[in-house]
Structure 1
Amino acid sequence: MTVEVKVEETLVAEVGVVPQEEPMKPVIENEKVVEGDDKVKEVAESESKPRAVEKSSSYKEESNFLSDLKEFERKALSELKLKLEEAILGNNIFKKEEPKENAEKETKVAEEEEKKEEKEDEKKEEKAEEVDEKKTEEGDEVPVAEEKEAAAQEGEEEKKPEEGCEVDKDISLWGVPLFPGKGFEGTDVVLLKFLRAREFKVNEAFEMLKKTLQWRKESKIDSILDEDICADLSSAAYLNGVDREGHPVCYNIFGVFDNEELYQKTFGNEEKRGQFLRWRLQLMEKSIQKLDLRPGGSSSLLQINDLKNSPGPVKKELRIATKQAVGLLQDNYPELVAKNIFINVPFWYYALNALLSPFLTQRTKSKFVVARPAKVTETLLKYIPAQEIPSQYGGFKRDNDTEFSSEDCAVSELILRAGSTGTIQIDAAEADNTLVWDLTVLGWEVNYKEEFVPTDEGSYTIIVQKRKKIGSNNEGPIRNTFRSNEPGKVVLTIENTSSKKKRVLYRFKAKKCSTF
C-alpha cells in the first residue's frame, strides 16, 4: 500500500516523517495555478526529505557513566561513597533508638548500682592517698594522659558499631542497594541524584540522603504501595505512556478539584490533606518502579501539569497541600523529574511565577516549560511522540485502543503553507479492505473532507466525510474508517484557510475485512 500526498499551491509543500518512526515515501504533486481557464501542471516525483519535529536541545538526562563525569564530579562521588560505606559499617545511618527496658530489668540494674556505689565508697578512702602521691610525683601528666586516652577511646567507639548490633549492608533506596561494597551499577546513579541536587557538595548530599532514609523509615514509605489510598483521585494524577527519550510520563490534572464535592473530600480537614499527601507519594513510588536506575537508563520522569479549570491560588487548602507535596518531593526524591511542563496555563500563573522566580535556582527553572492553551499540542510534540500523546491533548493515544498500538505504524507529517490545499491519498489496492486513519492539524482552522476514489473510472466517487470547516477550538484528532468493496484510494483533503502555515500529522493502516 502506498500513500500519495498532493498539495495545490504556488509553493512546494514540505512532507516529512516524525523522528523515531519508520519513514514513508509519498508522491508529491505540485499544481501551479495560472490566471485564466488553462492550468499548467508541474509534477515532481521524488522522495521527501524527512523533516525533524522541533525538540528541546537540553532535554536529555545528564550522563551517569563515570567516564562522562567531570573530575570534580567523580571526586565528589568517591567521597560520598566512602562516607556512606563508613556510616553503614558503623550503623550510623539511622538515629539511635533508646532501648525500652522492662520494670524487672530496671529494678535489677538499680540494685546492682547501689551495691557498686557502696563498694566504690569503701575503695575511695583507700585510693585517696595513692592518688595524692602520684599527683605529687608526676604533676598533671596523669590527668592529661587519661584525657587523651579517653578521647581516643571515644573516637574508636564512634567508628565501631555497638556490640550486639548487626551491620545492615542491605540498606536500599528505590530498590537500589546503597552499600558501595555490593558493586551494584545503580548505586552511582542514585548517589549522583543527591549530589546534583546539592551542587556536588558532599556533606550536604550525605545529610540529605540520611534524612531521606530516616523519613522513609519513620513514614513507612517502603510499604506504601500496599495501601489503599484515595481511590477517588485516580483521575487527578496518573501515568500514561513514555516520551521520546523513554521517560515515563506523569499527568497531574488540577482541573478535577474545581468540583467542590471532590475538593472538600480531599482537602476538607488536616486528616484528609494528610491522606492526599500520602496518595501523591504513593503515585511517586509507582512511577519510580517504571524507571531504569542504571547508567544509560531512563532514570527520571516527565511531568505534565494541566492547569485547565484549576481552582488556582485562591483555594487556601489546595495551595497548602500542594506546597507540602512539593516540599516532600523535593527533599526526598531529588532529580527524579527531567522536565516539568505546565499546559493550559491561565493568566494568574504568570503573576505567581514572576513572584517565585527569584527564589528558584537556575537548575530548577531550566526544567520548567510553560504552554498556553493554543500551544499545548505543539509543545508536547517537542518531548512526546504523537502516538503517545493522549487524544485530549491533540495526540493519537486513546484508552483501550483496538485499532492502533504505539508500535503499530509510523506517524507522518505534512506542512501546509498559508492559503494552500493538501491531499493525503491512502491506497486500497485490493477489494474488501478496511482502512482506518488518524489525522490532526495543529491549530486547525482548516476545511476538511474525505472521499473514496475507485480505480475503475466507470465507478462513482464516494463521499466519506463531506467538506466541513474545523475551527481553532477543536480538540482531539479525527479518526475514521472505510471499507472498500473495490480497488481505489481514500483521499483526505485539507484546505488551509488561515494566514499561517499548518502542521498536519496522520497515520493509517489497512486490514482485510476477514481479520476484523
Structure 2
Amino acid sequence: MSFRNSSIGLGKQSLFEEQSNKVEEVKALLGPLPDKFSRYCSDACIRRYLTARSWNVRRATKMLKGTLKWRLENKPEEIRWEDIAHEAETGKIYRSNFVDKYGRIVLVMRPRGCQSTNSTQGQIRYLVYCMENAILNLPEDQEQMVWLIDFHGFTMSNISVKVTKETANVLQDHYPERLGAMILYNPPKIFESFWMVVKPFLEAKTNKKVQFVYKVDHNSQKIMEELFDMDELETAFGGKNHTSFNYTDYAAKMMEDDKRMPLVWAGGDAAQPLPVSSLNIDIGSDSDESVKEDPDTALKR
C-alpha cells in the first residue's frame, strides 16, 4: 500500500472515530430513555440527526429531543390503516411496488385534486403513516426513500400553502435524512411560481435533492433512466409498467404491514404502550434559530 493510500485510510478511520464519538456525546446528552425510545435512538438514527445538523452535537441533540417529544404526543407508530383509510381512497400517496436502482422505497404522490378530505390534520396524519410504513419496509442496508410526484392534471387549486408548509416542517424536523431524491415529474409552468413560495420552507440540503423532470425533455428523462428500471417504472412516469393504484389491493397490503409495526417497536415482542408519565421533556430556549423547539433538558424516565 502506498503512503498516499495509507494516509487516506487513516483519515477515513479518524473521521469515523470522530463521528462515533459524537454519537456517544448525543447519547450522553439524551440521558436514560424508556426502552421504546432507546430503540428509536439507534446509532444510525443519531447519525441522521447529526448529519442534518452538520455534525453539531448540541443542535442535533435538540432536534432529536424535539422529535421524541413529537412522537410522544402524536404516536405515529400507532397509526393504523383504519385510522387513515379514507385519506388513501384517491391514491394521492402510496408506496409503489418497485424500488429505484439503489433499493430505495418509492412513494408516489399525485397532487391533482386527489384530496379525500379538507382536513389539514388528516392529510398530515396520512403522510406520517406513509412515512412510517415506508421506513418499516426499507431494506436493512438502506435508510432513504424516493418521492415521485406526478403533476398530470395539476392546477393551482390543488395546492394548499398551509399543508405544504406543515408537510415540510414534519418531514424536515422529524424525518431527517430520510429523503434520498424528490422527482417533480412534468410540473406545469404555473407551478414555478408556487415553487418560489415553497422553496423558503425547505432546507438547503433538501432543495439539492429536488429534480424537475419533463416528459418532452430528453436530457431530464435520463434522470429517470439512471434512477429506475424502466420496465418496473409506471407508464405515468415514462416507464413500461402499466400497473396502477388499486385501493383494495393496497389496503390489504397496508393491513398486513400494520401487524408488523408493534413487533418492530417492541423489539420482537408486543409490549405495553409507553405511558406519557414515563418521559419528562422540558423545553427551554437557546439562540439556535434552526430548531423551532429547544429541548435543553435531558430526557428522563
How would you bin the TM-score normalised by the shorter chain? 0.5 to 0.7
1:188 shift after superposition: 2.5
Give the whole-Å Cα distance in 2 for the aligned partners of 1:361 and 1:226: 31
Matches for 1:312-391 after TM superposition, within 5 Å: 312=156, 314=157, 318-354=160-196, 357=199, 360-375=202-217, 377-391=221-235
Which residue identity lines up with residue 163 of structure 2 in the other structure?
A: A
Equivalent in the alignment of 1:399:
243
Does 2:242 match 1:242? no
SS of the counterpart of 1:389? coil
Quick one: which of 242, 247, 252 aligns to 2:109? 252
Q: 1:73 to 1:331 in 2, by over 3 A?
A: farther
Matches for 1:147-166 after TM superposition, within 5 Å: none
Q: 1:82 to 1:379 in 2, by over 3 A?
A: closer
Quick one: which of 129, 135, 142 aligns to 1:288? 135
Aligned length: 232
1:189 shift after superposition: 1.9
1:85 shift after superposition: 4.0
Give the whole-Å Cα distance in 1 for the aligned partners of 2:94 and 2:227: 18
SS of the counterpart of 2:27? helix
Give the whole-Å Cα distance in 1 for the aligned partners of 2:10 and 2:168: 33
Give the whole-Å Cα distance in 2 for the aligned partners of 1:326 and 1:360: 7
Equivalent in the alignment of 1:171:
37
Matches for 1:44-443 after TM superposition, within 5 Å: 71=14, 74-85=17-28, 87-89=30-32, 168-172=34-38, 176-178=39-41, 187-225=42-80, 227-234=82-89, 235-240=91-96, 241-257=98-114, 263=115, 265-267=116-118, 272-293=119-140, 297-312=141-156, 314=157, 318-354=160-196, 357=199, 360-375=202-217, 377-399=221-243
CA contact (8 A) 1:255 1:311 kept: yes
Could you give the per-residue CA deviations for residues 392-427 of structure 1, whole angstroms, max 9, x where no partner exists? 333222339xxxxxxxxxxxxxxxxxxxxxxxxxxx
Q: 1:196 to 1:212 in 2, by over 3 A?
A: same
Which residue identity lines up with residue 350 of structure 1 in the other structure?
A: E
Give the whole-Å Cα distance in 1 for the aligned partners of 2:79 and 2:46: 23
SS of the counterpart of 2:107? strand
CA contact (8 A) 1:389 1:395 kept: yes
Matches for 1:468-479 after TM superposition, within 5 Å: none
SS of the counterpart of 2:84? coil
Quote the RMSD (CA, aligned, Å): 2.9
Which residue identity lines up with residue 178 of structure 2 in the other structure?
A: L
1:191 shift after superposition: 1.4
1:310 shift after superposition: 1.9
Give the gaps of 5 or more residues in structure 1.
1-65, 92-167, 179-186, 258-262, 401-516
1:206 shift after superposition: 0.7
Give the whole-Å Cα distance in 1 for the aligned partners of 2:113 and 2:10: 46
Larger radius of gyration between Structure 1 and Structure 2: 1
1:357 shift after superposition: 4.8
Give the whole-Å Cα distance in 2 for the aligned partners of 1:246 and 1:170: 28
Q: 1:392 to 1:305 in 2, by over 3 A?
A: closer
Q: 1:72 to 1:290 in 2, by over 3 A?
A: same
Equivalent in the alignment of 1:457:
none
SS of the counterpart of 1:194? helix
Give the whole-Å Cα distance in 2 for the aligned partners of 1:359 and 1:233: 25
Q: 1:169 to 1:273 in 2, by over 3 A?
A: closer
CA contact (8 A) 2:30 2:65 kept: no
Q: 1:225 to 1:342 in 2, by over 3 A?
A: same
1 or 2 for the larger relative contact order (CA 8 Å, sep ≥6)? 2
SS of the counterpart of 1:245? coil
Give the whole-Å Cα distance in 1 for the aligned partners of 2:45 and 2:177: 9
Q: TM-score, normalised by structure 2?
A: 0.68
Could you give the per-residue CA deviations for residues 436-475 of structure 1, whole angstroms, max 9, x where no partner exists? xxxxxxxxxxxxxxxxxxxxxxxxxxxxxxxxxxxxxxxx
Give the whole-Å Cα distance in 1 for the aligned partners of 2:11 and 2:37: 27
SS of the counterpart of 1:373? coil
1:285 shift after superposition: 0.6
SS of the counterpart of 2:83? coil
Could you give the per-residue CA deviations for residues 71-90 of structure 1, whole angstroms, max 9, x where no partner exists? 4564244233233245333x
1:286 shift after superposition: 0.6
Greater strand share, structure number: 1
CA contact (8 A) 1:346 1:372 kept: no
